[in-house]
C-alpha cells in the first residue's frame, strides 16, 4: 500500500502543529522581533527544526538544503532560507528564552486539543501497578560539548558540558514520556542545588523518586513538610542509629528498619525518623545489594524496590532525545546558541510524540524519526506513511505432510 498524497510536505505538516500566531507573539514578548529583518523568527524556528529532523551537522548543511527547497519553504508561512551568517547571528543574539517558552506553549496546546495525549502513554513494565498516586521521576543527563570552544560550559580542565534536569511523571503503569519540568544548566552546577527548583511543582500526596545525587536532608525535610512522599538511594556515608524494626527480612529484603540521623548537621536538618531498606536487586543481570531511604512507613518493602526501579523509565526519554535527535553536533559555540538547539530538540521531540500518539504508532521512537526523515520534503500524508510501515501482516499456513519427512540426500518415498 502506497502513502496517500498531500498538498503539504511532511515538514510543513509537522510545522503546522505549532499555532500560527504563536511564534510572532513570543518574538515580540522576548524582544526577538527587534533583532530580525529579512530572516524572521518563524524562519529561524523552522530552520532549527529542519536541522533536528534531518540530522544536519553544520550551518552550511542547513542553509544549502533549505536553499534547494526554497519553493516548498516559502509555503510554510512565508519562511525563507537563511545565509550562514544570518543563521549564526540569530543563534547568537536572539534570546533563547523564546525557544523555551515556545516549547512549553506548544506542549500546553497539544494537551489542550488532545487531553488524552498527556494521560494515555505507553505501557512500561517497570512501573508498579499498585501505586494509584502520581509518581514524579527526577533525574539529570549530561550533554557533552567541545571544551576548547565553549569556555562558559567548562566543568573540568579538558571537558565541557551542559546538563538537563528533568521531572517527568508516571501514572499507574502508563508513561507518556512527556516532561513536566526541564532545567538546562552547565554541568558544573550541583544536582542538589537544583533539586529545590526541580521538585517545586510536586504536589502534596504525590510521590517523587530520585537518585542519591539529589539527596540533601534539608531538601528531604522540605518535601516531608509539604506532604510529599519520596524514595531515593541511601548514601554510603550516612551516619545513623537504628530505632526500630519495620518488618522482618524476607526473600531479597535484607533489612527494613527505622533510623534517626546521628550527625549533628544532618540531624538538625531532618529531625524525624526515616525508613532504611536494604535489598538485593538485579542490575544488568547481576545481583547487587542496595540501600533505599523513604519517608513512607506503610509501603511494603518490595513496593519501594519496584518504585525505585521505575525511575529508570526517565532514561528512555534521555536516550530518545540524545541518541535520536541532533544533540551531538552543535551549530554554535556560545551559551545562547546551545540553548536554542536544545530547546528546539525538545520541541521536535514532543511534536513527533504527538504524531506517534495520533497515528497509533507501535514501534520505537527511533524508527518513527527515520521514517519521517526519509520523506521530509515529500508531498505525502505523514499518517499514511506511518500506516504503511511495519512488519508483514498475516500468517503463513504450514501444512505438515508425510512426504516432507526425509533426510537430506534421500528422495521421498
Q: What percent of the chain has pLDDT over 70?
A: 84
User: Residues 29, 148: one domain?
Assistant: no
User: Residues 81, 132: one domain?
Assistant: no
pLDDT value for 395: 46
Residue 143 burial by Cβ neighbours in a 10 Å radius (0-12, 13-18, 19+): buried
Q: What percent of the chain has pLDDT over 90?
A: 47
Indicate which CATH number applies to the domain containing 159.
3.90.350.10
Give the tens place of pLDDT for each residue, 188-242: 778 888 889 999 999 999 999 998 888 999 999 999 999 999 999 998 888 999 9
pLDDT value for 396: 43
Give the tens place of pLDDT for each residue, 302-313: 888 888 887 877
Cell matching residue 208: 517523587
Q: Is this model's pTM higher than 0.85 or not?
A: no
User: Residues 24, 131: one domain?
Assistant: no
Domain count, the chain: 2
Specify if 44 maps to a domain.
Answer: yes
* Helix (H) or strand (E) segment spanning residue 293: strand 286-294
For 362, the domain range is 10-98+332-388
Specify if 287 maps to a domain.
Answer: yes
Specify if 186 maps to a domain.
Answer: yes
User: Residues 269, 349: one domain?
Assistant: no
Give the tens place of pLDDT for each residue, 128-147: 556 677 888 898 888 766 44
Examine the pLDDT at 173 and tell me if it is beyond 50.
no
User: Residues 291, 342: one domain?
Assistant: no
Cell matching residue 292: 533505599
Give the tens place of pLDDT for each residue, 317-367: 788 888 888 776 677 778 888 889 889 999 999 999 999 989 888 888 889
Least confident residue range of 89-103, 148-162, 366-380: 148-162
User: Residues 92, 130: one domain?
Assistant: no
CA neighbours closer than 13 Å in the CB half-sphere of residue 384 = 13
C-beta atoms surrounding 226 within 10 Å: 14
User: Residues 60, 142: one domain?
Assistant: no
Amino acid at each position: 500500500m502506497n502513502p496517500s498524497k498531500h498538498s503539504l510536505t511532511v515538514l510543513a505538516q509537522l510545522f503546522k502543529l505549532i499555532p500560527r500566531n504563536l511564534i510572532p507573539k513570543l518574538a515580540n514578548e522576548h524582544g526577538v522581533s527587534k533583532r530580525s529583518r529579512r530572516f524572521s523568527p518563524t524562519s529561524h524556528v523552522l530552520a532549527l527544526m529542519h536541522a533536528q529532523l534531518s540530522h544536519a551537522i553544520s550551518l552550511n548543511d542547513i542553509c544549502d538544503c533549505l536553499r534547494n527547497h526554497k519553493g516548498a519553504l516559502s509555503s510554510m508561512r512565508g519562511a525563507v532560507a537563511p545565509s550562514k551568517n544570518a543563521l549564526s547571528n540569530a543563534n547568537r543574539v536572539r534570546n533563547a528564552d523564546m525557544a523555551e517558552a515556545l516549547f512549553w506553549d506548544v506542549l500546553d496546546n497539544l494537551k489542550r486539543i488532545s487531553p488524552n495525549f498527556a494521560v494515555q502513554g505507553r505501557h512500561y513494565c517497570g512501573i508498579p501497578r499498585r501505586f494509584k498516586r502520581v509518581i514524579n521521576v527526577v533525574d539529570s543527563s549530561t550533554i557533552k560539548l567541545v571544551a576548547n570552544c565553549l569556555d562558559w560550559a567548562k566543568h573540568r580542565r579538558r571537558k565541557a558540558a551542559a546538563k538537563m534536569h528533568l521531572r517527568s511523571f508516571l501514572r499507574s503503569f502508563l508513561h507518556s514520556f512527556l516532561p513536566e519540568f526541564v532545567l538546562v544548566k552547565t554541568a558544573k552546577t550541583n544536582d542538589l542545588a537544583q533539586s529545590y527548583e526541580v521538585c517545586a511543582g510536586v504536589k502534596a500526596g504525590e510521590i517523587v523518586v530520585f537518585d542519591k545525587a539529589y539527596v540533601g536532608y534539608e531538601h528531604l525535610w522540605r518535601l516531608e513538610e509539604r506532604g510529599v512522599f519520596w524514595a531515593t538511594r541511601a548514601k554510603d556515608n550516612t551516619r545513623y542509629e537504628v530505632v526500630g524494626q519495620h518488618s522482618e527480612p524476607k526473600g531479597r529484603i535484607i533489612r527494613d528498619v527505622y533510623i534517626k540521623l546521628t550527625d549533628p548537621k544532618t540531624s538538625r536538618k531532618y529531625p524525624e525518623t526515616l525508613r532504611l531498606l536494604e535489598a538485593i536487586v538485579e542490575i544488568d543481570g547481576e545481583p547487587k545489594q542496595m540501600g533505599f531511604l523513604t519517608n513512607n512507613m506503610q509501603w511494603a518493602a518490595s513496593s519501594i524496590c519496584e518504585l525505585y526501579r521505575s525511575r529508570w523509565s526517565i532514561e528512555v526519554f534521555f536516550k530518545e532525545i540524545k541518541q535520536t535527535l541532533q544533540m551531538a553536533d552543535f551549530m554554535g559555540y556560545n551559551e545562547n546558541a546551545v540553548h536554542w538547539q536544545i530547546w528546539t530538540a525538545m520541541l521536535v521531540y514532543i511534536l513527533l510524540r504527538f504524531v506517534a500518539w495520533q497515528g497509533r504508532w507501535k514501534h520505537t521512537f527511533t524508527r518513527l524519526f527515520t521514517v519521517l526523515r526519509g520523506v521530509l520534503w515529500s508531498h505525502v500524508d505523514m499518517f499514511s506513511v506511518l500506516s504503511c510501515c511495519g512488519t508483514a501482516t498475516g500468517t503463513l499456513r504450514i501444512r505438515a505432510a508425510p512426504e516432507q519427512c526425509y533426510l537430506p540426500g534421500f528422495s521421498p518415498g
